[in-house]
Amino acid sequence: MSVGVNDPEVDAILERARIDTDVQRRSRDYQELERRLLYEEYAMIPLWHLKSYFVSQPYVHGFQLNPVFVYDYKTVWKDVQ
């Protein structure tokens, strides 16, 4: 699948991530690709908007909405009561 991105740096990071056996390095590479493509180069432009609702409790912290509905729950935490 292709979205028409032609960036040698992105290609190099993607190829490195595909062959790297170190899980942490591979994860960092994919996070870098996500940051570049979705937040810097805007490789994906939404054509419509889905109305969504999210609820939370006052003791839940760190949840961040994401425009493409991909969530990283590593930053979410809750107060110990």
pLDDT (tens digit per residue) in 7-53: 899 899 999 999 999 999 999 999 999 888 878 876 666 676 677 77
Contact 29, 16 (CB under 8 A): yes
pLDDT computed for residue 55 by the predictor: 77
The amino acid present at 56, given as its one-letter code, is S
pLDDT exceeds cutoff 60 at 2: no
* Per-residue pLDDT, 25: 95
Q: What is the pLDDT of residue 77?
A: 92
The predicted pLDDT at position 22 comes to 94
- Whether the full predicted model's pTM is greater than 0.75, yes or no, is no
